[in-house]
Structure 1
C-alpha cells in the first residue's frame, strides 16, 4: 500500500521526504528541494565510511546550524563482490536497520533524506523507500531531481539523442559480455557507476566498435568537472559517479543554408 501524503513537503509534518539534489550544481536543484533542505531540522544521507558523502557535500552552506545530521555509512562498498551472498546480507541488514531508525524518528519529526541526482534512478534511497512504504506507518514522499547523466551530457555540448535514437542506460558493474550486447543494440549510450569498472567498460566499447565516439565526464556540472574523449585518457581509477557517454547520430533535418 502506498503511503505518500501529498502535503508532506508543504509543512513540517512528520514523515520522511527524500530530496533529489540534481547533478551537482546547487543552482540546478529544484526550488522545492532547496526549500526543504534549508528548512530541515533532521537530515540523513548515505556515505562511504571515512568520506563526507557526495549528497552531504552538495548541500554545504545550505543547512541550518542546528540541524541534526544522520550519516548512513555503508557497511561495505567494493571490498567484496556485489553478487556475493555476504554482500547482499550486509546491505540488507544495513537498510533494515536504517528503515527502523528513520521510521521511529519520522513518527514525531520530519526527516529529509538527501540523494544525488534523482532518488528513483539507481539511488540508494530506493531500498529504504520500499521498506518504509511496506511498513505504512510514517508519511513518505520523494522529490524528483535532475539525473546526474543529464548534467553530464550537457557538459559535452552535444545532444545525446536525435530523432528515433534509442538511448541505452547501463551500469559499469555489468559483465563485459553484457555491456557489449547492450552497447551493440542502442544508438546512444550512458554507462553509470564507472570508477574501477573503467577498464571493463573500455574493453566492451572496443569490442562494440564504439570507443572512438565515447566521452568520459567526471564531476559533471560541478566546479571540478572534467570532460574528455575516453580514447585519450588512461584507466586510472576515476570517481564512481563518473559517466561514460556515446551520443546518438539519428535522424535530423539538415540545415537549409
Structure 2
C-alpha cells in the first residue's frame, strides 16, 4: 500500500487561518513538502510553522515546480522524487500550499505529475481572493453579479474588454504588469472603484489606491480588486 498525497491548503499567511482539518492532518502526516522560491522563501511553511510537529520530515521543492510553471516529465520527476519515494514506502505526504491548493495553487504541478500514481486528497484553504476581500472589508461579489478572476499577464486589450464586462474583478500575478493593469482600469473608468492589496493577513499587509502604488515594487503576494457597485462605501 502506498501513502496518500494530501494537497493541504494552509491559508493566506496568518497562522490562525489554517482550518481545523488541515491542522489535524499536519499533526498526523510523517512527511511534509512545500515549494521554495528562487529567493529561498517558503510562504506555505512560514504560514504553519507554529503547527509543524517535532520530528516531521520536510521536503523542500525546488522552484522548477511551482504554480507558474508546467515542468516536463523529467524535471517534475527530479523535483518530486523524494515525495514519490516516501509515498511508495507507504508514508503519507502533505504538500503545503499557501491559500487554496486548487486556486492558482503551488499544488497543481504536483497533482498533475503524481495524480495517476497515488491516492490524493485535497484539503481546501482560505484563498488569497477571500483574504484580500476580507482585508479590504468589502463584498467580493454579490448575488447576481459576475466576478472576473484574471492574471495581469493578459494582453491589455483583452483585459480591458473583460473588465468592462464585469461587475467585480480580481487581478492576480501583478509583478511586471501593474502599470498595464492600472491603465486598463483607467480606460474603463473603474480606477476609482479599485484597490491594491499586498501581503494580505500578514504583518506587512498594505492596502492602497492604485495611484499610490510604485509599479516597480510589487511583491508576488499582491492583488487588485475592483467592484463596480457605487453603493459600496468601502471604495
TM-score by length of 2: 0.88
Q: Which residue of 1 aligns with 2:104?
A: 122
- Aligned residues of 1:76 and 1:91 also touching (Cα < 8 A): no
Which of the residues 40, 53, 76 maps onto 1:95?
76
Q: Which residue of 1 aligns with 2:26?
A: 37
Which of the residues 181, 189, 210 maps onto 1:209?
189
- Aligned residues of 1:164 and 1:250 also touching (Cα < 8 A): no
Distance 2:134 2:84 in 1: 38
Which of the residues 94, 111, 114 maps onto 1:112?
94
Q: Which residue of 2 aligns with 1:57?
A: 46
The C-alpha deviation readout for 1:125-157, integer Å capped at 9, x for no partner, is 12221322223xx22111011111101011111
The C-alpha deviation readout for 1:219-253, integer Å capped at 9, x for no partner, is 1112221111112322132111201001241899x
Count of aligned residue pairs for this structure pair: 229
TM-score by length of 1: 0.81
The gaps in structure 2 that reach 5 residues or longer are none
Distance 1:206 1:242 in 2: 19
- Aligned residues of 2:62 and 2:79 also touching (Cα < 8 A): no
**Residue 215 (structure 1) shift:** 0.4
- Aligned residues of 2:99 and 2:125 also touching (Cα < 8 A): yes
**Residue 199 (structure 1) shift:** 1.5
The C-alpha deviation readout for 1:105-136, integer Å capped at 9, x for no partner, is 1122111100011111111212221322223x
The C-alpha deviation readout for 1:142-188, integer Å capped at 9, x for no partner, is 10111111010111111122342111001112222221121111110
Q: Which residue of 2 aligns with 1:68?
A: 57
Q: Which residue of 2 aligns with 1:152?
A: 132
List structure 1 runs of 4+ shifted beyond 6 angstroms.
none
Instruction: Indicate the RMSD between aligned Cα atoms, in angstroms.
Output: 2.4
